[in-house]
Amino acid sequence: MIAKETVEILWEELHPLHMPLPTTESLKNNANEFENVWNFPYVVGCLDGKHIHKVCPGAMFFNYKKYFLLFFKG
């Protein structure tokens, strides 16, 4: 439920500026590019993550960028 609400809010706020409505042609072009460049068939888009630098004294794990991994319960 929270993911659906988040996506709806992102769409309403950002699509007029950054996300024009997709067309059949643009989706086909995206799918062809993902397959040709990355060998991922039937993909039309992707999202990237964000690393946040956080000082965590006593943390036991960190990633390849030497950022500590934070685990959230929820």
CA distance 56 to 71: 12
> What is the pLDDT tens value at each position of the chain, 74 positions in all?
888 899 899 888 988 888 778 899 999 999 999 999 999 999 998 877 666 666 555 555 555 666 555 555 44
The predicted pLDDT at position 74 comes to: 43
Domain limits, the chain: 2-38
Query: pTM of the predicted model, to two decimals?
Result: 0.44
Structure tokens that stand for 9 in this block: 């809010």
- Residue 68 pairs in a beta bridge with 62
